[in-house]
Amino acid sequence: MYPHTHKEELAMEERTKMDMEGEEKALNIYFIPYLAPGHMIPLCDIATLFALRRQNVTIITTPSNAQILGKSIPLNQHLRIHTVPFPSQEVGLPDGVESLSAAIDLENLRKIFQATTLLQPPIQHFVEQHPPDCIVADFLFPWVDELANKLQIPRLSFNGFSLFAICALESVKAHSLYDSASFVIPGLPHSIVMNATPPKQMSEMLEALLETVFKSNGIIVNNFAELDGEEYIKHYEKTTGHKAWHLGPASLIRRTVQEKAQRGQQSVVSVDECLSWLDSKPDNSVLYICFGSLCLFPDKQLYEIACGIEASGNEFVWVVPEKKGKEDESEEEKGKWLPKGFEERNIQKKKGSIIRGWAPQVMILSHTAVGAFMTHCGWNSTVEAVSAGVPMITWPVHGEQFYNEKLITQVRQIGVEVGAAEWSSIGIGEREKVVGRDNIEKAVRRLMDGGGDEAEKIRKYAREFGDKAKHAAQEGGSSHRNLTAVIDDLKISRDRKLLV
């Protein structure tokens, strides 16, 4: 908390009086999400949380993303979207391709990334012409730090990571652990055993971005304090000297089936069709499989997944990202990576469902039929599963996901590992290693066969954390209190500036 002068105390008394009269001036906050679903969706949900507290929120994004957001968040007098043009022509992209999830290959990925760097001038111009009380920006826009300093306004950072993952990243950096295939992360509250080595170039990029995060007035975390744990919140603040605000799980603002179904992009499957299929299944009988929008497995890996889940004997919903640029393929061509007769034995007999494209994940996870989630451990997916009380089968691929896996399996014991050991910098492209069908079948059976003490214990812990997540987001819960504290601190900062 800030030290207050007598002059500031008088101003705060005046604010308290206005509070009582219901006339207090709302904050004007700009949110700048990065152009990838795993970053944009949670940050825009967090923006909605501020708007629901009657603060004036502006989300700054590009036209195509604005269209998607306009359908999935409640635009009103407190929440609006400001668009800046996306530089498609400058980088050689077709119109409408404005998100990393639209990349069809490494070249497209590079072009989209380059385009996001060109967004600085139009965003900066808008912010300078209409200065807000605070900017909340994704850490992949590090230039916002200089802009906020220039305008002398607070900046809060967001990166879509768990605080645990940031603590792990910082510890690996401090001890230069980039060479061992297996190692224990030193200095953390728990003994965390890693079975894969982070790519050095990726780690150095994340570490540089975090240096800019630590210069901000605080980091906003799409999580609740009880999942990261008080021990990691204290560790973070002690080792970095930086403030973290847990405001999640942001997905819990979606309460109705329709609100859950509309989160993110347009689903390729109808809500009624999806619900009807799930409604026909017993509780905890369905395995949900999804590796996010930025992870595209090669055909040989998809084949092993199909063999593994079929061998497990479980019913399943499997989300496979549509291969961009190949939407016109026949059904036979789209399924060429499946074992012979797989669709006849599973899909046609209603034992399984394959969704090719975007799925209503929050809605699926919240259904009682879903008993486990095979996931890439992207933080968005992880916290959605935790919120629904669903245990996980962890299969990290890139980014900070291998750290998230350890929070899930070693620290909170709400999942089991499939045995992935190849840590990539990105989710697209060929891989040296394939996770075999035997490993996949074994991991599925550990959670889904039931009756075992291990599975029952994991399921119990998952349910408990689901309850804690819901409580955190409710009035009086930890995340609800943190949001109140952030708003109060920002108002004090604004009023102090007005007094200068």
Residue 39 annotated to the active site: yes
Establish whether the linkage from the previous residue to 249 is cis, with ω within 30° of 0. Answer: yes
Structure tokens at 405: 């896996």
Contact 81, 66 (CB under 8 A): yes
Residue 6 annotated to the active site: no
Contact 200, 420 (CB under 8 A): no
Which bin fits 476, alpha (ψ -120 to 50), beta or left (φ > 0)? left
Q: Which of 78, 95, 130, 138 is catalytic?
A: 138
By the 10 Å C-beta count (0-12 exposed, 13-18 middle, 19+ buried), 351 is classed as: middle
Q: Which of 4, 6, 19, 39 is catalytic?
A: 39
Pairing of strands 315-320, 192-194: unpaired
Alpha-carbon Rg for the chain in angstroms? 23
Instruction: Give catalytic residues, as residue numbers.
Output: 39, 138
